[in-house]
Amino acid sequence: MITRSDVLLDATDLQKTFGNGVRAADGVSLQVRRGETLGVVGESGCGKSTTAKMILRLLKPDSGTITFGGQNLLSATGSDLRALRRRLQLVPQNPQTSFNPRLIIRSSIEFNLRAHNYARSGWRDRVDGLLTRVGLTAEHGDSFPHEMSGGQLQRAAIARALATDPELVVCDEAVSALDKSVQAQVLNLLADLQQELGISYLFISHDLSVVEHISDRVLVMYLGRVVEEASAETLYTAPGHPYTRTLLSSAPGYTGEHLPPQGEPPNPADPPSGCVFRTRCPWVMDRCVTERPLLGVAKQAQYVACHLNDPHLRDTTISSSSVLTEPITSSSDS
Amino acid sequence: MATLDAVSGPPGTAGLSTTRRRRATSNRRRLPIPAKIAGVVVLLLIAVALAAPLLAPYDPVAGQLGSRLQPIGSPGHLLGTDGQGRDILSRLMYGARPSLLAGITPVVVSGLLGTTLGLVAGLAGGRTHSVTMRSLDVLYAFPAVLLAIAIAAALGSGINNSIIALSVILIPPVARVTESETARIRSADFMESARSSGAGWLAIAVRQVLPNIAPAVVVYGTALIGLSLVYAAGLSYLGLGISPPNAEWGVMVSDMQKYLYTAPTLLLVPAVAILIASVAFNMLGDGLRDYFNVRTDVR
Amino acid sequence: MSVSAAPTATVPATSAESPVLRVESLSTSFIRRGKPLQAVRDVSFELRAGETLVLLGESGSGKSVTARSILRLHGKQATVTGSVMLGDVDLLTLGDAPMRNLRGSRMALVPQDPNASLDPLRRVGHQIAEVLQLHGISSSRSVARARALELLSLVGIPDPPRVFASYPHELSGGMRQRVAIAIAISCEPTVLIADEPTTALDVTVQAQILRLFQDLQHRLSTALLLVTHDVTVAAEIADRVGVMYAGQIVEYGPATEVLQRPRHPYTQALLGALPLPGMARGSLRAISGAPPVAGTAFSGCSFADRCGAAVESCHQQAPVLITVQRDHRAACPVLNSPSNPADSSKEGSR
């Protein structure tokens, strides 16, 4: 059984609404345990990047709490914040622009070392070591970003993230901008590093296959809400939420059920009432219009935010929406 | 275990060592020819100013009343003499000193102060930004020349006061350029990494932002030198700068003004000197802008 | 160096019809910094009515340049050689004016970024109508408008009148792409070229767009040339696949063949690099190195320095496309000799 002490990052009920009325995060909660990879998947506008930014304190949530290693991340200031930042790092999406174009890679990595008062005399060796660890050479360290390819830069970004021995690395679409063949290299590298160093990852991506490959557990987000949370394997073989099923079905080459998405994505500034997915859901009920579904247990370690998952509903006859194929009857399996 | 990629670089440079490759890349950005010429002119001006005591054939201050208003090309006086018999060429050379000084110093001073203000305003945002920029706007709203005159008049004549006045009026434009550049950089992707690194704002400002805004500021500053030079000459012309009988280009224009109908060419000499100097600095600034405009810039 | 496809270009087609588009020995080069840059090298393929050919490749492979060269969109910047036969007309020999007439009417492009291809200042419906009138399909504005509304509904847009009157920024990415497709098919082109049409879209919308392409093909018998880097898109929609690497086609044939029984190390590696469920973490078959920068010249096989099956001769001699079976060709003599193994992988990259 997973104990509380294993939880490294604990975010509860994060809310963030932007000036234009878009509710980027509407009650998002997540936990990342030590040595684990939590994947967050969703399409554009689902709020996954916003959530990542809030966790990194690049954005301030309107409400909610975030603790890291037991310490309150949101209220930390000064040297406390700095100490927390040392343990929580970022690998950003776009390798070409995530480095300062006027600095050589080495300088960019040293910037992080300087920020945490690492002894200057040790910088050279440490940076060289990091570069080697990610498969680059000292020469790469002396190069400018524009002299390097996307794959090389992303490795450099990983090296930079590792510079301060972090415990959790947020990968925000870290492989999305790479060619598939290069993507595989970087994914292998991330996996190796996790095994060797025991770091946790918060892996954010729109690519379901990548997320499932690298994650232990996965969060599925839609319009600012978490609609499902499950282990990677369960998600792929027995998805609980209608949106997850639609997402899987849309992945080209998926050989499971055929569930095409209906309708158009709604306007994020004016989301539907009740369940935000109801306008595209094949099993929508009256209840979905008025009442927002909360994350509830579907199976062991699988949580789904859907009225179809309601235990009461499971007890009664489900075929009320008779035109459609059978809804989820997950509890009857276990 | 992930393996290495070949080190890549611009086409044609594969296989070169890093230092040679970097030199090969930077060689591709050159100053355009006009800017090179302008650069040479600027260096010449500075050299002449510094070496005036060695180069000038005559004393710039003492005139020989016997040879007043000699035209250009007179024997012994290449550029003629002024109304008090002083050799114009010598006065021009000695005059380069205060003129260039009053052109360059205010830009350096306002550059340092303006850049600091712009950086702080750009990075701080919120109230600090508003207060700083709006205060500068107030200053900026005054016509520069009038403000310079007012300050110089208030402080009294003399080249130092001119420099102070010009430094003050140049702070707002420099701060504006710096602030807008900083605002552009602030939203760049790499700033997210910089902020999440845990570094303080000072370190971010100096080590991440400054290298990116420096080219724009340098280019702008170089062009400002030309402007400052003209303003300084203007102030001297009005009697607010350097005091006679010292040589300075603006003062020389003012002196020769009364001979506009009798010896107009003599008036041209200091005027053309001012023109050449300010144009040279402007062209150098333009050239530097092209020189810095390469891939290393933030997109 | 060049990959010669001449002997195989005359392999009999699988259907009795002759191809609507026939590209032979297409090569495109640009001048960069005074030096020639060979982006596409000796590419040949055919396209039949109602068929989808996917050009699959990563960055620098030359796939987009190929598509644009067929439409002669590079203008004076590029030198294009070879022949591109649309029916019995060689597009490369046409004058500018006839080519312009042809573009949009008999051959149309669906570009990658719908934001860039739609005029932000004009209503969407008018942009469609304009194309119709330009190519003389519709004689008057009212006729063009009616046809535009039909087209909008044909591409699956709900409420065509509302969308007709909308500006691009008022529509979602998926809708904009549908509008771009509507513009492309407005004159019922024989050949539709789509350059990464789904890359900028969410996966759910992507699925809908791909289905739309298939639907349109059934209805209009349009031939579709689709350029993409996404293998799964190829798997979904392709009848035939041409895998491109470093400006050349390295494997070519029916989709089922190429994607399930690949005969070129690069194709195999590309398919092996995909994270599929059940694969242990850290075990993806990565290819060491990176795709070469467009225009890099090679003395032997362009893939040799990343290839697990490479032998000495691969670095010296440029491979030619070898017929594996019937319509399936691969440019690898190592895998396709009499005593060939079915698979190759460079273990050093794991």
List pLDDT tens digits, range A52-67. Answer: 999 999 999 999 999 9
The answer to whether the CB atoms of B192 and A58 lie below 8 A apart is: yes
Is residue B173 within 8 A of residue B140, CB to CB? The reply is yes
More confident residue, A256 or A11: A11
- For range A162-167, the mean pLDDT: 94
Stretches in chain B below the pLDDT threshold 50: 1-28, 294-299
- Dihedral of CA atoms C63, C66, C72, C74 in degrees, nearest 10, equals 60
The tally of CA atoms less than 13 A away on the side-chain side of residue B89 is 16
Classify residue B41 by burial, with Cβ atoms within 10 Å: 0-12, 13-18, 19+. Answer: middle
Q: What is the pLDDT of residues A180-194, one digit of tens each?
A: 888 888 999 999 999
* pLDDT tens-digit readout, C266-292: 999 888 888 776 677 777 877 777 778
Candidate from B21, B197, B298 with C-beta closest to A111: B197
pLDDT tens digit string along B70-85? 888 888 888 888 888 8
Which C-chain residues 283-302 have CB contacts (< 8 A) with chain A? 283-288, 290-291
Give the pair of three-digit tokens for residue B71. 């035209």
The interface residues of chain C toward chain A in range 132-161, judged by CB-CB distance below 8 A, are 158
| B4 contacts chain C (CB < 8 A) | yes
Interchain CB contact of C35 with B (< 8 Å): yes
Question: Which comes out higher in pLDDT, residue C101 or C52?
Answer: C52
This prediction's pTM: 0.79
Q: Between A and C, how many CB-CB pairs are < 8 A? A: 118
Q: Is A58 on the interface with B (CB under 8 A)?
A: yes
Answer yes or no: do B200 and A115 touch at CB < 8 A.
Answer: yes
Q: At what angle do helices A180-197 and A150-162 cross, to 10 degrees?
A: 20
**Which of A184, A195, A251 faces C285 most closely, judged by CB atoms?**
A184
Mean pLDDT is lowest, of A313-317, B286-290, C141-145, C295-299, for: A313-317
pLDDT of residue C248: 93
Render C246-309 in DSSP notation, one character per residue: TTEEEEEEEHHHHHHS--SHHHHHHHHTS--TTPPTT---PPSS-PPPTT---SS-TTGGG-TT
Reported ipTM: the value is: 0.81
Three-class SS state of A168: strand
Q: Hey, are the CB atoms on C211 and A264 less than 8 Å from each other?
A: no
The chains found to touch A (3+ Cβ pairs under 8 angstroms) are B, C
Subunit partners of chain C (3 or more CB pairs within 8 A): A, B
Query: Is B11 within 8 Å of C288 when comparing Cβ atoms?
Result: no
CA–CA gap between residue A138 and residue A131 (Å, rounded) = 7
State the Cα–Cα distance between residues C43 and C25, nearest whole angstrom: 5
For residue C338, pLDDT beyond 80: no
Bridge partner list, C53? C225, C240
How far is Cα C48 from Cα C13, in angstroms, rounded to an integer?
A: 9
Contacts of C276 in chain A (CB under 8 A): 209, 213
Chain C within 8 Å of B2 (Cβ-Cβ)? yes
* Type of residue numbered C344: S
Which DSSP string corresponds to A181-217? HHHHHHHHHHHHHHHHH--EEEEEES-HHHHHHH-SE
Task: Provide the CA B240 distance to its chain's centre, in angstroms.
Answer: 21
What's the rounded Cα separation, in Å, for the pair A92 and A98?
7
Contact assignment for B3 to C348 by CB distance below 8 Å: yes
Question: Cβ contact (<8 Å) for C348 and B11?
Answer: no
Residue C246 amino acid letter:
A
Backbone angles phi, psi at C325, to 5 degrees: -160, 140
- Binary contact (A115, B197; C-beta < 8 A): yes
Option in C206, C207, C277 nearest A212 (CB): C277
Please compute the mean of the pLDDT values over residues C230-238 and round it to a whole number.
Answer: 89
Q: With 70 as the cut, is the pLDDT of residue C16 above it?
A: no
Q: Tell me the C-alpha to C-alpha distance, in Å, between residue B112 and each of B162, B171, B219.
A: 18, 9, 14
Gap from B286 CA to chain A (nearest CA, Å) = 21
C339 part of contact set with chain A, CB < 8 Å = no
Which residues in chain B have Cβ-Cβ distances shorter than 8 Å to A57?
A: 196
Please enumerate residues of A whose Cβ is less than 8 A from a Cβ of C.
43-44, 149-152, 179-185, 187-188, 191-192, 195, 206-210, 212-214, 233, 236, 246-247, 249-253, 260-261, 264-265
How far is C-alpha A230 from the geometric centre of its chain's CA atoms?
A: 13
Task: List CB contacts (< 8 A) between A54 and chain B.
Answer: none
Q: Give pLDDT tens digits for A73-115.
A: 999 988 899 999 999 999 998 898 999 999 999 999 999 999 9
Q: How confident is the model at residue A252 (pLDDT cuts 50, 70, 90)?
A: low
Which chain A residues are within 8 Å of C233, Cβ to Cβ? 252
Joined tokens for residue B26: 């930077």
What span, in angstroms and rounded, lies between the C-alpha atoms of C320 and C317? Answer: 9
Q: Which residue of B has its CA nearest to C295?
A: B11
CA C240, A255, C192: angle at the middle one, nearest 5? 30
pLDDT at A330 over 50: no
Q: B198 and A147 in contact by Cβ < 8 A?
A: no
DSSP secondary structure letter of residue C334: T
Between CA C182 and CA C154 the distance in angstroms is 8
How many distinct helices (H) and strands (E) make up chain B? 12, 0
Torsion angles phi and psi, residue B87, rounded to 5: -70, 125
pLDDT at position C297, please? 80
pLDDT confidence of residue C141: 87
Answer yes or no: do A100 and B190 touch at CB < 8 A.
yes
> For position B62, what pLDDT does the model report?
81
How many contacts does A have with B, using Cβ atoms within 8 A? 122
Q: What is the percent of chain C where pLDDT is above 90?
A: 38
pLDDT of the residue at A82: 92
Q: Judging by DSSP bridges, how do beta strands C21-32 and C78-86 pair with one another?
A: antiparallel
Nearest CA in chain B to A56: B196
